[in-house]
Amino acid sequence: MNFTIPTNITTKDELFKYLKDNKSTIIQEKKSANKKCDVVSYQMPLVSTKGDYENKDVAMTTDNIETGFVLLKFVGNTTNLLDSHMDVHIPKLWNKTLADNEYFLHLQEHEMEFDKVIDSKMKCSVKNVKWKSLGAPYEGSTQALFGESLAPVDRNEYMVEQYKKGYVTNHSVGMRYKNVVMCVNSEEKYYVDEKANWDKYYPMVANKEKADECGYFFAVLEAELIEISAVVKGSNTITPTISVTESNVAGSTTTTNIEPVKSTQKKVDYSKLKFI
């Protein structure tokens, strides 16, 4: 969730002091709220050619699908990315929630309504994959949270069609934070703990230019997963649909692998994000 910073704060020194002085309150607000996607995004991945999408890392086995169902496989979340909430999800944050729950909700745009449910028995798993496997312009790897729904076609026909047509290119998690730490890039003694967190988690951040510009972020060490939603555009845009598998005739299936949408990088003034 986005927290509010007073508009009279104009310098990084003032910002860091406000964050430190109000750390307990800010972290409690983050932990008490159900986090969802933003209505705007700060970044779009650049995919220039078909060859840029290396889907071998994210390929999954395909089983025969019963008539009346569609198997949807997608990425709900990726770690190591500083998002528009000023949060970085740290690998293993999903370990406990996945161990405690067999199924999760797959929703349309975070709407907890009967007609917005795509599947009520979505399975989730995590896998370390290369950023390039997801069409992202970053080096190294991320721990991706994968969702897999055997969606009844007649439950949310509209969204099944959106998936089949390749229109669903972003997903977003509905979750509750359980363990969050503040990271601040300052050498002053007042921020010794926050600087230690920065030194520990900053090397994991894929989009370091944003961290450098803002000078702070929150590292999320554990989160409780509630649902994954199909969204038009999420705060983390590296969350594509991987494949859509549907039955044709008895005993046969057709799988459509979905590639990331070709787009261009967009320059954003990251400093403005602090005041959203």
Q: What is the mean pLDDT of each run of 10 residues along the chain (276 residues)?
A: 82 96 95 65 35 51 77 97 93 98 98 97 97 92 97 97 96 96 98 98 97 98 97 88 81 61 40 37
**SS3 assignment, position 158:** helix
What is the reported pLDDT for 34?
Answer: 80
pLDDT, residue 169, reads 94
Please give the pLDDT value at position 261.
Answer: 43
Q: How far out from the chain centre does Cα 80 lie?
A: 10
| Residue 275 counted as domain residue | no
**Residue-level pLDDT at 45:** 37
Quote the CA–CA distance of 94 and 100 in Å, as a whole number. Answer: 10
CA distances from 80 to 6, 45, 244 (A): 28, 15, 27
CB neighbours of residue 177 within 10 Å? 24
Q: Look at residue 60 in the predicted model and tell me its pLDDT.
A: 52
The count of structural domains within the chain is 1
pLDDT for position 57: 61
Burial class of 130 by CB neighbour count within 10 A (0 to 12, 13 to 18, 19+): middle
- Which residue is listed with tokens 């989730």? 124
Q: Is residue 2 part of a domain?
A: no
- pTM > 0.85: no
**Residue at 21 is within a domain:** yes
- Dist. CA 228–CA 108, nearest whole Å: 9
Q: What are φ and ψ of residue 123, in 5° steps?
A: -95, 145
In degrees to the nearest 10, what's the CA dihedral of 133, 137, 141, 146?
A: -50
Q: Is 7 domain-assigned?
A: no
Distance CA 74, CA 58 (A): 9
Provide the residue range defining the domain that includes 116: 12-131+140-266
Is residue 253 assigned to a domain?
Answer: yes
**Cα distance between residue 214 and residue 202, in whole Å:** 12
How many angstroms separate the Cα of 31 from the Cα of each of 106, 129, 213, 217? 22, 28, 25, 15
| Dihedral-angle region of residue 110 (phi above 0 means left; psi in -120 to 50 means alpha; beta otherwise) | left
Place of tokens 């995919």: 47
Relative to beta strand 104-108, strand 216-231 is: parallel
Shortest CA distance to 170 belongs to which of 107, 222, 235, 117? Answer: 235
- Domain-embedded: residue 221: yes
| Number of C-beta neighbours around residue 142 at 10 A | 25
Strands, DSSP E only, in 110-251?
117-130, 141-152, 170-184, 216-231, 241-247
pLDDT score for 258: 62
CA gap 241, 165 in Å, rounded: 11
pLDDT confidence of residue 48: 34
Residue 276 lies in a domain: no
